[in-house]
Amino acid sequence: MRVFIGTDHAGLEFKEHLKRALAEAGHEPVDCGAFEYDAQDDYPPFCFEVGERTVAEPGTLGVVIGGSGNGEQMAANKVPGVRAALVWNTATARLAREHNDANVVAVGARQHSDEEATALVLEFLGTPFSGDERHVRRIGLISDYERDRHRPAGGLPTRSQHP
């Protein structure tokens, strides 16, 4: 699988490690930068690049890396069509794909060893979307809101009204 990878200076060393690990696992890593260490670089452009390329090429996934992964997830999620998930253990990596059909994973390089962070990314890449109706429906609600910027009919979530 083609995997787009982007980071700022905080994840530069891990990105190089991850590219090798992904290639060894049979994936095709595509480097979206940064390409050299610059302590003053800004992560959003790298995350936008990963998101745009992932959305433009169905069947691919993306990885954004930062110190914590928080800002990188936020930036990637600004790209229409991206569903980026910050993961911190294998359960969150697996659920991001199974339940949310996330297409970009965010990892904090300063939060994990290279081996731990690699395991998170590989878990994400190796997990398919479940396709369960409830998850499809929820993703549809998110996509509709992203496109139209208004809530579904009824506004607030529906619940049974019990006295």
Q: What is the pLDDT of residues 114-137, one digit of tens each?
A: 999 999 999 999 999 999 999 999
Strand 28-31 with 104-108, pairing: unpaired
Catalytic one among 99, 135, 146, 162? 99
Q: Which of 27, 49, 52, 72 is catalytic?
A: 72
Of 78, 158, 98, 138, the C-alpha closest to 87 is 98
Amino acid identity, position 36: E
Is 17 among the catalytic positions? Answer: no
The angle that helices 114-126 and 12-24 make with each other, rounded to 10 degrees, is: 50
Q: How many residues does the chain have?
A: 163
pTM of the model: 0.92
pLDDT score at 57: 98
List pLDDT tens digits, range 96-118.
999 999 999 999 999 999 999 99
| Dihedral sign computed on CA atoms, order 137, 3, 20, 35 | negative
The confidence score (pLDDT) of residue 154 equals 59
Count other C-beta atoms under 10 Å from residue 3's C-beta. Answer: 23
Cβ partners under 8 Å of residue 45, min gap 6: 33
Residues of the chain with pLDDT below 50 are 159-163
- Based on the residue annotation, tell me whether 72 is a catalytic residue of this protein: yes
Query: For domain 2-148, which CATH number applies: 1.10.10.10, 3.30.230.10, 3.40.630.190, 3.40.1400.10?
Result: 3.40.1400.10
Instruction: Show the tokens assigned to 91.
Output: 């359960």
